[in-house]
Amino acid sequence: MEENRKKDHQALLNQGEENELEVFGYRTQKLRKALCLTASTLTCGILLLAFHWRPHWRVWANCVPCSLQEADTVLLRTTDEFQRYMRKKVLCLYLSTLKLPVSKNPKESVVADRHSIVNQAVMKPELKIRCIQVQKIRYVWNNLEKQFQKVGLLEDSNSCYDIHHTFGLGLTSEEQEVRRLVCGPNAIEVEIQPILKLLVKQVLNPFYVFQAFTLTLWLSQGYIEYSVAIIILSVISIVLSVYDLRQQSVKLHNLVEDHNKVHVTVIVKDKGLQELESRLLVPGDVLILPGKFLLPCDAVLIDGNCVVNESMLTGESIPVTKTPLPQTENTMPWKSHSLEDYRKHVLFCGTEVIQVKPSGQGPVRAVVLQTGYNTAKGDLVRSILYPRPLNFKLYSDAFKFMVFLACLGVVGFFYALGIYMYHGVPPRDTAPMALILLTLTVPPVLPAALTVGIVYAQKRLKKKKIFCISPQRINMCGQINLVCFDKTGTLTEDGLDLWGTVPTADNCFQDVHSFASGEALPWGPLCAAMASCHSLILLDGTVQGDPLDLKMFEGTAWKMEGHGVDPCKFGISGSTIIKPGPKASQSPVEAITILHQFPFSSSLQRMSVIAQLAGEDHFHVYMKGAPEMVARFCRSETVPRNFPQEMRNYTVQGFRVIALAHKVLKMGKLLEVECLAREEVESDLTFLGLLIMENRLKKETKPVLKELSEARIRTVMITGDNLQTAITVAKNSEMIPQGSQVIIVEANEPEEFAPASVTWRLVENQETGPGRNETYINIGNSSVPDGRRGSCYHFAMSGKSYQVIFQHFNSLLPKILVNGTIFARMSPGQKSSLVEEFQKLNYYVGMCGDGANDCGALKMAHVGISLSEQEASVASPFTSKIANIECVPHLIREGRAALVSSFGVFKYLTMYGIIQFISILLLYWQLQLFGNYQYLMQDIAITLMVCLTMSSTHAYPKLAPYRPAGQLLSPPLLLSVFLNSCFSFIAHIFAFLYVKQQPWYCEVYKYSECFLVNQSNLSINVSLERNWTGNATLIPGSILSFETTTLWPITTINLITVAFIFSKGKPFRKPIYTNYLFSFLLLSALGLTIFILFSDFQDIYRGMEFIPTITSWRVLILVVAFIQFCVAFFVEDAVLQNRELWLLIKKKFGFYSKSQYRTWQKKLAEDLTWPPTNRTDYSGDGKNGFYINGGYESHEQIPKQKLELGGQTTEQHFWTRL
């Protein structure tokens, strides 16, 4: 019973997806609400503030748990490690508000689609639908499934038959109205946040609330100047934050605004065509595609072909051909029917239709699949509005540190209460003094100081043409220890150059035709395949399309003439005609007509076309794609026996190899051809030969990879290209150093009588001639030679093998990833999954790609760097305007400098609070404190100026072979703060006690007569009035004393010296003297302090509220401060910052990194059987510890796993984590 109640009370939203949420049902109670309102009034709004910071407290206080079916409020909690809460009201939609008859009979459907959730969501006879709106997505309550489900999309359970027959003729106007009410408008609306709302949100930040309390207290005690300075600084900081947020809001609003203003034509059932605004579209509407057209929704093509520009999604402005969904009569879900290739039928929101090709049966039509924020563009915008948080250790540690400082303040508060009450000071005077000590340990300048360091780094990156939309990730760049690179367009040049063709005849490869010779490609099936097997289009007189297709087509010297096929003859319009150009070789064929296309997809690794040669009655099929894939579809007798060797011969030299194939279709009518399935067309082909293309390395690639290698930052290649080509590029770029072993990991799916297997093959290079490499498999040794053990081996695998290992050998995956360098033929989903798996090993992962198919991985990585300026890159935290990988070391250098600066500023401000805390504790002992101008000198002239300039030191130009510390709570940093606090405490105690032993000392505030008598013994003659007291004190005479005069210069010089000590330059930042402004301010502050200490001007003494002392005492104060500096500097520089010493201590006491990848490296280094070579392992083999991963479901897509990251990043400042 209890279990059922719990099940009814909570459920999962978006189960298994990246944005998975737990949802809990609550019902508001009027009595609880009234009590909360009363408590909020009595606490002057403090309770409301707590509810604002902790929304779940508000729900728990106002509501009682209940089943989700009865709930009027739901509490949502993320299932990641952050467990963030959201509160949402349950809304009700009433179909009775529509001006149309809706049946109240429970047995009758509201909409015709039997799969639609709308039918299951309507409560009859009330005609009510319960819903919630979460992160721009609407969820309705499913009365049958008893859970909230997403609306605004067609259900995936629809088959191809359903889509064609249920929606092919359009929706009725009544059904459109129902769907509009339930699904909401088809609009991606980004509200421009009102300035007042942004301001309130910033001001209600917990740190600013504490700061407001602190400053109010200080102002009430007359400490006006510094309080005003902090207020001004805070106001500037808040205004800049609000301005930045507002600008982002406006930019995003402008980006999506045009999406909501498109006019479309839809088919309404029994009424014909109707024009309407795109915001009125609903899932199931049939959209007419007129020609050039910006898609306002996701839609599946059901009739005709079209060409779209998908740069918004992929980052590449390459025309992509879309084909209609086949009209099959099976009941299989339509996406499963097309497997991963379903995208070839889908037109995505935000992409642009640039050409349509009607089928001859009417205009090009598409069924609306998803609307609003459910679309591809909506998902992109949501990823910007609600970024995935990452847990960065710095901010969580900083929060803990702040809590410690606050606890220190609480101790000081009770100490002050005790002292003042013991001396009988009235409570109205005691309370403010105690509160001052409470607020002293947490510096109010902290958020501004940490933010300014990020601003400096952002400014320096901007000069290097690197732009950042997530500034808090700059610090994280300093922790990167693994960078994944895409190959094409990132490591290598974007374009490909034709090298030659290798035709086949009589089951043998023929002589190479070199394009460098300048001779035209001779006519033949290979030439016909190159001229016709592509997705190029003629747009405004220019041939456009994929760069590889363009180069291949140019190599034939043929030309494209667009559309000229007679629809009456062929039954199709808009087909492309190819004709020989003036430079083409002599051809018996006047023209080739491309009639039908099966587009290329990264999962299928091939494309094919059906074409007709002029003057012939039959048709031809031409295919091109990855050689190993094309060979599978060819008759074995047509594939040369030495095919693997020939292919490897070129791929090991870094060439890009494409295979071509052909067959004749014995059919006379195109309509018969149109009905053929892809599987029928792509079978029993004749192998034609290989097209060899060069893909040169960018000139910046090798030096950058060398620099990263010297800095001990791992580099990994994730590419969609051939495995052998990727290995060669890795070797040429020295990503795999000379002399290193490459082990190819090949995994196979389980077959009928055989379990899944993984084979390890050791690849060796042997020079066989000048400039020529040949690859062969070493079958002699079973493991890497002992002399080459350690990190000298690199694993290489394909996406297919990665998928099998993920599914069947999951425990083996970390072992491979620790030394995996090459991942080829990887799909976009696999790229994201791989980045996630690296993160699970506690790597800080950077991903650099050109935007094409890398968007998911760029978002998943801790630091994503896009080399594309297309719209798709907006989801990437960093974008480089210079399209090469030089941006990676720049970013890491700046990240390291920013991280070290953040640590330095944090340590300094911690010490600033502690030093002042120590001096005030001592002064409070005798009911004294510093004067306003004494504080002012420390707070504005030193601390404020130092904090605003300390972070402006530039990054060191050379990357060190190790990273800066990533944790505040690390032994060196904690010891640094602790020891410096001890040194300060010793110096202050010594000065405080020793001054009392001097013959000229007297307790001025107690014995003013004694003080006046002793004036005659001073070395200078300054007339002091009997009633000289502080200018803003509670207790008369509580500032003027020898203790204050002695402690102030020690405290002030201590603040200057710790600023110098914590501003370490090399190896992550340039030397301190290169930061001219900071150095000048430090020297000026030191000079001014010494000048005040030794000056004999009465006005200075009167203004600063000092008592003149003998010169020898002042010299002693300076000597004490200097000795403290020398000791602190030596300990910090020679001990705490001594990396070799700490490594020795770690080794001596057996401390090792807790990072998963370090643990695996250590285990594998001790494992004599690792790495395996030239052997095969099978799943379920107990001795190897492998097992079948039962959680794996789909063979096409790797499921999302919950990240178990040990210390990585958050987009929030730590002070928002209260």
Catalytic residue numbers?
Answer: 486
Residue 181 token pair: 């009410």
* Structure-block tokens of residue 552: 């291949």
The β-bridge partners of 460 are: none
**Can you give 16-71 as a three-state secondary structure string?**
CCCCCEEEEEEEECHHHHHHHHHHHHHCCCHHHHHHHHCHHHHHHHHEEECCCCCC
689, 502 contact by CB (below 8 A): yes
Q: What does DSSP assign to residue 1071?
A: -
β-strand 21-28 against 63-65: which pairing, if any?
Answer: antiparallel
CA distance 453 to 313: 34
CA distance 152 to 368: 10
Q: What are phi and psi of 229, to 5 degrees?
A: -60, -45
Spatial separation of the C-alpha atoms in residues 427 and 435, rounded to whole Å? 12
Q: Which residues contact 1136 (CB under 8 A, 6 or more apart)?
A: 972, 975, 976, 979
Partners of 1176 in beta bridges: 759
Is 574 in a helix, a strand, or coil?
coil
| Distances, alpha carbon 22 to alpha carbons 15, 62, 147, 150, 910, in Å | 9, 20, 11, 14, 39
State the angle between helix axes of 828-840 and 799-808 in degrees (0 to 180), rounded to the nearest 10. Answer: 50
In contact, 872 and 858? CB cutoff 8 Å: no
Q: Where are the alpha helices (DSSP H) in 173-287?
A: 173-183, 195-203, 206-220, 224-257
Distances (CA, A) of 210 to 203, 705, 738, 754, 938: 10, 47, 58, 66, 21
Whole-Å CA distances, 906 to 397, 448, 659, 678: 11, 11, 60, 63
- The torsion of the CA quartet 791, 792, 796, 801, rounded to 10 degrees, works out to -50
Burial of residue 140, with CB atoms counted within 10 A of its CB: 0-12 exposed, 13-18 middle, 19 or more buried: buried
Tell me the C-alpha distance between 723 and 554, whole Å. Answer: 27
Residues 6 or more apart whose Cβ sits within 8 Å of residue 1144: none
* CA 736 to mean position of chain CA atoms: 27
Contact 381, 349 (CB under 8 A): no
The Cα–Cα gap between 1133 and 442 comes to 26
